[in-house]
Structure 1
Amino acid sequence: MPNWSVDSALALMDDVGIAHALLSISSPGLSFVAGEQCTGLAWTVNEDGAAAVRSHPHRLGLLASPPLPNIDAALEEIEHACDDLHADGFVLMTNYDGVYLGDRRLEPVMDELDRRGAVVALHPTSPPGAEAVAMGRAYPLIEFIFDTTRTVTNLILTETLERHRNLTVIVPHVGSALPSLADRVNGFAKLSDHKPFAHIDVYGTLARLYYDLAGTPLPHNLSGLLAIAPADRLLYGSDTPFTPPNAIHATARALTQTELLDDTQKRGMFSENAQPLFGRLVQSAG
């Protein structure tokens, strides 16, 4: 686990030229503990994150973590995060003990986030049975990418995203494997023996999601993402501290120089596309 502190994060932001950053919990989220421990941990990390934001309101924002899969506790923490901590959004893991986003058991949480018009950033975590399929390699290598793809596909095919149009959803890692699988998911949905999915607008739904460019957007992945999403849905992401500073610098340079985006689209990707999502940060910066 790489070291992290508010001071080191701010120093990196200054070095790279990042004006604002969002704090959030990474994999495995909070569900490595259960019951009251998970609920208490959610309260603690969200309070700590909010304290960091209060100390640096012009630079930092908070994506709060609800203690899923406990629905009642998650609803209470959403209220606390929104009404008391004034969180800028939420981070949801792609699955909670094998329960994927889009599962009906999570519907009360999605309803409440939708009611509040929340920004929800997805973060991949290990799928059930990861040890059996990872072939001894680190789970983030490909399993995280597939788990994001799995949960977004479920959100689409269960019509969770259609029912919750007030949600703003951010998909990580340049869309994960969705650019490669969009045609397959759409084709599957339109097959005659899968009539429950035939009316679902797979391409339209993918086009209205937001996509962070953390990871490896270039040389190949960004072009695939632009085939399913317009450039005004792209968001720069550094993924610090898991991405080392030299890689963050290299990716930022590559995105600045790429010919896949024009200058207006680059300004959007680096800054302007995020402004409607995180208005408090923009206003606090004056």
Structure 2
Amino acid sequence: MSFPARIDVHQHLVPPVWADALAAIGHDTGGWAVPAWSTGGAIAMMDEQSIATGVLSVTAPGVHLGDDTRARTLARAVNEYGAEVVKDRPDRFGHFASVPLPDVDAALAETAYALDTLGADGVVLMSNVHGRYLGDPGFEPLWDELDRRRATVFVHPAQPPMAWLPGTPAPLADFVFDTTRTALNLVLNGVIGRHPHVRVILAHGGGFLPYAAYRFSGLTSIVVDPGRTADDILRDLRRFYFDTALSASPSALPALLAFAEPGHVLYGSDWPFAPQEAGSYYNGYLEAYPGFAPGQAEAIDRGNAEVLFPRLAR
């Protein structure tokens, strides 16, 4: 790809107020260092990786670091910072707003402010918040509102409520596990079925959801919930969208393309938490993959995201 065309739905920003809040409590991003970030650095990377626009989000652990009041303040500061970045370069950046779950009332208020006042392109949710997964019945009012708004939601993994595997930072293994866990929780608790208008993007190719989807659907219909057929479960699992961040590999990409609905695979980089060298590695396989149907590569790079983010359409 010789010119910037991709829409990157999984790209991060590091607001100084957020980095300072993590440092103040001795927190990191699951054993991963918080990297330096600047708009200039992001644009230089995007030009190198043929990315026209990056839809920015704050990564794990999100903005709720244990205190409701501080979480509301941090969410507002982070979202206003992101909105300023987009305002300066709307051609190069978009923005998923952070919300302070598990405080549902505050999350509803911040969703309204971010979408209506700041013009955010959607909302980012962590896969779990202090051990509560996104299918938790207490979060239903937020899903109702997101569905009413026909919002796009980016689900980013977080550390699951368990100890790290020794010597293994959470982004290496636990993050893909937690993405899969929250996606299944959303389907089994009926959240996806009850909210047909919300568009939910799962990071990193959906974890191992595409690989294990038929295990989930078959066993659910036989053992967990005989009132739902395997096809019912598969239909809801296929409602998800998936980004390619760290997932355009010889084993993961064929499984993802075999499972996902047409139009539901989107380009993602995970920069700067995934270094530029990783982007080059996965982009190389994405660009050389021999199994794409006609037009499918271009749709993943850009066209599928244009449907979700019409303002970015060319």
Corresponding residue for 2:221? 190
Give the superposition deviation at 1:102: 0.7
Question: Is the aligned partner of 1:140 residue 2:168?
Answer: no
For residue 116 of structure 1, the aligned residue among 116, 125, 149 is: 149
Give the superposition deviation at 1:206: 2.3
Corresponding residue for 2:35? 2
Give the superposition deviation at 1:199: 7.2
For residue 60 of structure 1, the aligned residue among 93, 99, 106 is: 93
Provide the rounded CA distance (Å) in 1 between the counterparts of 2:173 and 2:51: 28
Q: Counterpart amino acid of 1:157? A: L
Give the superposition deviation at 1:101: 0.5
Corresponding residue for 1:249? 280
Corresponding residue for 1:213? 244
Question: Is the aligned partner of 1:125 residue 2:158?
Answer: yes
Question: Is the aligned partner of 1:279 residue 2:303?
Answer: no
Is 2:79–2:98's contact at 8 Å kept on the other side of the alignment?
yes
Q: Counterpart amino acid of 1:83? A: D
When residues 21 and 160 of structure 1 are mapped into structure 2, their CA distance, relative to the original with a 3 A threshold, is same
Q: Deviations over 1:77-113 (max 9, x none)?
A: 0110011001101110000111101110100111111
Provide the rounded CA distance (Å) in 2 between the counterparts of 1:81 and 1:100: 23
Corresponding residue for 2:46? 13
Equivalent pairs, count: 281
Q: Deviations over 1:105-133 (max 9, x none)?
A: 100111111111100011000011233xx
Give the superposition deviation at 1:226: 2.0
RMSD: 1.5
Q: Secondary structure at the match of 2:238?
A: helix
Corresponding residue for 1:262? 293
Corresponding residue for 2:265? 234
Is 2:217–2:230's contact at 8 Å kept on the other side of the alignment?
no
Higher relative contact order (CA 8 A, sep 6+): 2
Is 1:22–1:61's contact at 8 Å kept on the other side of the alignment?
yes
Provide the rounded CA distance (Å) in 2 between the counterparts of 1:88 and 1:180: 29
Q: Secondary structure at the match of 1:20?
A: strand
Give the superposition deviation at 1:193: 6.2
Query: Which deviates more from structure 2 when the two are superposed, residues 54-63 or residues 198-207?
Result: 198-207
Q: Secondary structure at the match of 1:19?
A: strand
Provide the rounded CA distance (Å) in 2 between the counterparts of 1:52 and 1:186: 42
For residue 110 of structure 2, the aligned residue among 77, 80, 86 is: 77
Provide the rounded CA distance (Å) in 1 between the counterparts of 2:78 and 2:155: 17
TM-score (norm 1): 0.94
Q: Deviations over 1:222-271 (max 9, x none)?
A: 11112211342110101100111122122112111101213410000000
For residue 90 of structure 1, the aligned residue among 92, 116, 123 is: 123
Q: Counterpart amino acid of 1:168? A: R
Provide the rounded CA distance (Å) in 1 between the counterparts of 2:161 and 2:91: 39
Corresponding residue for 1:174? 205
Q: Secondary structure at the match of 1:191?
A: helix
Question: Is the aligned partner of 1:39 residue 2:78?
Answer: no
Q: Secondary structure at the match of 2:106?
A: helix
Query: Which deviates more from structure 2 when the two are superposed, residues 78-87 or residues 220-229?
Result: 220-229
Q: Decide which structure has greater helix share.
A: 1
Q: Deviations over 1:105-164 (max 9, x none)?
A: 100111111111100011000011233xx2331111111111000000011111100100
Q: Deviations over 1:37-89 (max 9, x none)?
A: 00000000000000000000111101001111101111110110011001101
Query: Which deviates more from structure 2 when the two are superposed, residues 110-119 or residues 204-213?
Result: 204-213
Is 1:149–1:178's contact at 8 Å kept on the other side of the alignment?
yes
TM-score (norm 2): 0.86
When residues 192 and 26 of structure 1 are mapped into structure 2, their CA distance, relative to the original with a 3 A threshold, is closer
Provide the rounded CA distance (Å) in 1 between the counterparts of 2:224 and 2:71: 42
Query: Which deviates more from structure 2 when the two are superposed, residues 83-92 or residues 208-217?
Result: 208-217
Structure 2, unaligned runs of 5 or more:
1-33
Structure 1, unaligned runs of 5 or more:
none
Is 1:159–1:200's contact at 8 Å kept on the other side of the alignment?
no
Identity %: 42
